[in-house]
């Protein structure tokens, strides 16, 4: 937990952020719950504030202040993968997944960059302080960006000077070194099903599994990531605790019911007792098993419920429905993160059990995945909780981080540079048409770079990238969801009432 960095908060759903105390020129907008630092007196009904950045000052209507700190969930656009930052009303922070690492992102950024912006620019702090970090499962497009946060050698990529992790949680299924390649380890048959019992457990087990001595040892990128977790420290410089979680965990430690902030209950993966040892279902091929044993987490705050589903698939959803027979109301929610990026490998019965008023799909750009699939976008709406007012559909709402992303392109006009002697060189006109650029590029969704060459007269440059981040905020009664408009920095805002 950090000390609240703001003294006041926006009370309106959205309010203009003006350049001056008078006039209509603006520099975007602020959302309900945004924290501000008042830096000047009131003039013409407006007050000068600093918001959304250390140097980002402007003016807002005084009547738009007087709000409160909210529960905020940021669904970060990480391309193909998941990345979420949860900020509680009392300024605790939980990071769940982080997409691929920046080295594999065609934008050169991962979820770590958004987290860095949040703490360094928005809060004005020099350190990132996460109360908890959760890897929903051991797929690279989920934990890779978390490695960027933990990688002290990459600190020069971030503005924050230090990073503290209060606790790390994971699902248990892991990549282990096999005879010739990676493996999910040992599994046993119990009654009619197979179960993996070679699970990663606590800090001591994690340290041993990356030590390089003894067996079993973790494999590949997952090994390297867990090694960084083992090296992580809390705010008091103690080793970060590491825990495997399942439905047996109940509530995430520190987020039990009865506090001022949200309760966080772990609904999955479902753990079974296999001859006195914990076991997780083998759901088919390796990818089905890793995805299907994702952490399933529900946030309860006031009357609001938010369900975060990782990469759950049809087989695991059917197993969850069976495990929660008689208690399927546990999956009902106001807001759901869609399972597995909008993949078609989804149980419609599970979507119906969620009955979400708003669904957020963390979808990538890779044509090989084609996420979100049209049928799942339709199914998310068809299974959603419907409210209609004045002949207008209020819910269900369906968001996609990919669809919310956009790029502004520009034509190069001139290049200026300095030679070794410090004299300025300018290339423009016909010379620009002949100038060649060697570059590396990644195809949408691709992880490896390809080389290319093009004359500047043939190509365009990316002038601006608007990330498809989806904001969800609630005071426990009303829920706001919003995405940014590229043109003027305002937001497309929708609100609806929680129902629990």
| Tens-place pLDDT, residues 467-483 | 679 999 999 999 999 99
What is the distance, to the nearest Å, from the Cα of residue 12 to the centroid of all Cα atoms in its chain? 25
Residue range 71-400 in CATH 3.60.15.10: yes
The answer, yes or no, to whether residue 407 has pLDDT greater than 70, is no
Record: fold of 1-69: SH3 type barrels. (2.30.30)
Q: Give the three-class secondary structure for 231.
A: helix
CB proximity list for 378: less than 8 A, separation 6 or greater: none
b/e map of 365-392 (b: 16 or more CB within 10 Å)? bbeebebbbeebbebbbebbbeeeeeee
Query: DSSP string of 14-61?
Result: EEEEESSSSSS-EEEEEETT-EEEEEEEEETTEEEEE-SSTT-EEEEE
What percentage of the chain reaches a pLDDT higher than 90?
71
Among 117, 150, 113, 116, smallest CA distance to 133 is for: 150
In this structure, the strands spanning 132-135 and 168-170 are: parallel
Mean pLDDT of the chain: 90
Region class of 81: left (phi > 0), else alpha (psi between -120 and 50), else beta: left
Distance CA 322, CA 441 (A): 46
The answer, yes or no, to whether residue 454 has pLDDT greater than 80, is no
What's the first-to-final CA gap in the chain, in angstroms? 27
Contact criterion met (CB below 8 Å) for 157 and 114: no
Distance CA 16, CA 55 (A): 17
Kindly state the average pLDDT of the residues 397-421. 74
Question: Which pair of structure tokens corresponds to residue 337?
Answer: 């993160």
Domain ranges of the chain: 1-69, 71-400, 412-459
Higher pLDDT pick, 198 / 455: 198
CB proximity list for 487: less than 8 A, separation 6 or greater: none
Higher pLDDT pick, 440 / 225: 225
Quick one: pLDDT band at residue 458, thresholds 50, 70, 90? low
Distance CA 116, CA 102 (A): 13
Contact criterion met (CB below 8 Å) for 406 and 486: yes
The answer, yes or no, to whether residue 87 has pLDDT greater than 80, is yes
Higher pLDDT pick, 449 / 254: 254
Quick one: pLDDT band at residue 446, thresholds 50, 70, 90? low
pTM of the model: 0.90
Q: What was the pLDDT predicted at 365?
A: 55
The answer, yes or no, to whether residue 447 has pLDDT greater than 60, is no
Distance CA 273, CA 469 (A): 40
Distance CA 250, CA 260 (A): 18
Q: What was the pLDDT predicted at 443?
A: 57
Q: What was the pLDDT predicted at 205?
A: 97
Q: What was the pLDDT predicted at 110?
A: 81
Kindly state the average pLDDT of the residues 123-128. 95
Quick one: pLDDT band at residue 434, thresholds 50, 70, 90? confident
Give the other-Cβ count within 10 Å of 443's Cβ. 14
Q: How many CA atoms lie within 13 A of 113 on its CB side?
A: 16
Contact criterion met (CB below 8 Å) for 80 and 365: yes
Q: What is the pLDDT of residues 127-170, one digit of tens each?
A: 999 999 999 999 998 999 999 999 877 767 889 999 999 999 99
Q: What is the pLDDT of residues 13-52, one digit of tens each?
A: 999 999 999 999 998 999 999 999 999 989 999 999 999 9
Q: What is the pLDDT of residues 196-248, one digit of tens each?
A: 999 999 999 999 999 999 899 999 999 999 999 999 999 999 999 999 999 99
Distance CA 292, CA 95 (A): 20
């Amino acid at each position: 937990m950090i000390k609240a960095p703001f003294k006041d908060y926006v009370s309106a759903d959205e309010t203009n952020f003006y350049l001056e105390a008078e006039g209509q020129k603006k520099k975007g907008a602020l959302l309900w719950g945004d924290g501000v630092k008042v830096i000047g007196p009131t003039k013409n009904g407006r007050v000068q504030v600093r918001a959304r950045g250390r140097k980002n000052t402007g003016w807002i209507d005084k009547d738009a202040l007087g709000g409160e700190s909210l529960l905020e969930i940021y669904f970060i656009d990480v391309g193909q993968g998941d990345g979420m930052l949860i900020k509680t009303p009392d300024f605790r922070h939980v990071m769940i997944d982080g997409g691929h690492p920046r080295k594999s992102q065609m934008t050169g950024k991962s979820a770590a960059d958004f987290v860095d912006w949040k703490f360094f620019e928005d809060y004005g702090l020099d350190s990132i302080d996460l109360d908890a970090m959760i890897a929903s499962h051991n797929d690279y497009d989920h934990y890779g960006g978390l490695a960027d946060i933990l990688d002290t050698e990459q600190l020069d990529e971030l503005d924050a000077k230090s990073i503290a992790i209060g606790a790390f949680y994971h699902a248990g299924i892991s990549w282990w070194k096999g005879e010739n390649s990676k493996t999910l380890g040992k599994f046993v048959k119990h009654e009619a099903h197979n179960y993996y019992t070679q699970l990663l457990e606590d800090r001591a087990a994690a340290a041993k599994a990356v030590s390089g001595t003894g067996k079993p040892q973790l494999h590949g990128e997952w090994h390297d990531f867990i090694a960084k977790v083992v090296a992580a420290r809390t705010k008091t410089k103690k080793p970060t605790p590491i825990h495997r979680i399942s439905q047996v965990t109940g509530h995430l430690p520190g987020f039990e019911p009865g506090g001022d902030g949200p309760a966080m209950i772990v609904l999955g993966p479902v753990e079974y007792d296999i001859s006195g040892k914990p076991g997780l279902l083998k759901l088919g091929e390796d990818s089905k098993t890793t995805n299907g044993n994702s952490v399933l987490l529900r946030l309860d705050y006031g009357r609001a419920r938010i369900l975060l589903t990782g990469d759950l698939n049809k087989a695991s959803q059917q197993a969850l429905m069976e495990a929660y027979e008689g208690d399927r109301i546990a999956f009902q929610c106001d807001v759901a993160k869609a399972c597995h990026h909008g993949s078609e490998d989804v149980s419609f019965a599970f979507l119906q059990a969620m009955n979400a008023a708003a669904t957020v799909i963390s979808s990538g750009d890779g044509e090989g995945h084609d996420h979100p699939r049209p049928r799942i976008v339709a199914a998310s709406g068809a299974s959603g909780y419907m409210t209609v007012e004045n002949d207008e559909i209020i819910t269900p709402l369906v968001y996609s981080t990919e669809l919310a992303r956009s790029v502004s392109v520009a034509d190069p006009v001139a290049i200026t540079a300095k030679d070794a002697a410090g004299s300025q060189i300018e290339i423009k006109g016909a010379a620009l048409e002949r100038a060649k650029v060697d570059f590396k590029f990644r195809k949408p969704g691709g992880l490896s770079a390809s080389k290319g060459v093009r004359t500047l007269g043939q190509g365009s440059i990316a002038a601006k990238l608007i990330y498809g981040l989806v904001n969800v905020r609630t005071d426990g009664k009303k829920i706001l969801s919003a995405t940014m408009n590229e043109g003027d920095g305002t937001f497309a805002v929708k609100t609806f009432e929680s129902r629990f």
